[in-house]
Amino acid sequence: KAGVTQTPRYLIKTRGQQVTLSCSPISGHRSVSWYQQTPGQGLQFLFEYFSETQRNKGNFPGRFSGRQFSNSRSEMNVSTLELGDSALYLCASSPSTSLETQYFGPGTRLLVL
């Protein structure tokens, strides 16, 4: 079974731009969660989608948004990029909402200049 895939793997943007990251979950998984990982803050939960509905949201500003499509693929968008948005963005898929069944993708490394 194919794992979680994320595209692109690397991205360089400048301040003020916007970016869209994509995540394809494991086949059959309906839950997709997004995380931001930085050296200083560690892994922080952004939001979780299940069957196209956002079920949970972390403490991030409204510049961070996401959506999920009917095939469970998910996208995350960050508008008006700031230098502090430079991070590894990880997507995790699960057949449920438990951390016990979450499988992480390889991540998208975003650098904001």
Partner 1 sequence: QKEVEQNSGPLSVPEGAIASLNCTYSDRGSQSFFWYRQYSGKSPELIMSIYSNGDKEDGRFTAQLNKASQYVSLLIRDSQPSDSATYLCAVENTGNQFYFGTGTSLTVIP
Distance CA 33, CA 16 (A): 25
| Cβ neighbourhood burial of 44 (10 Å; 0-12, 13-18, 19+) | middle
Site string for partner 1, 67-86 (x = CB under 8 A): --------------------
Sole binder of partner 1 in the list 23, 87, 90, 110 (CB under 8 A): 90
Sole binder of partner 1 in the list 1, 42, 62, 70 (CB under 8 A): 42
Establish if 93 lies at the interface with partner 1 (CB under 8 A): no
Neighbours of 27 (CB within 10 A): 10
Nearer to partner 1, 13 or 88 (CB): 88
Establish if 45 lies at the interface with partner 1 (CB under 8 A): yes
Which residues of this protein are in contact with partner 1, per CB under 8 A?
33, 35, 40-45, 56, 58, 90, 97-100, 102, 104-107
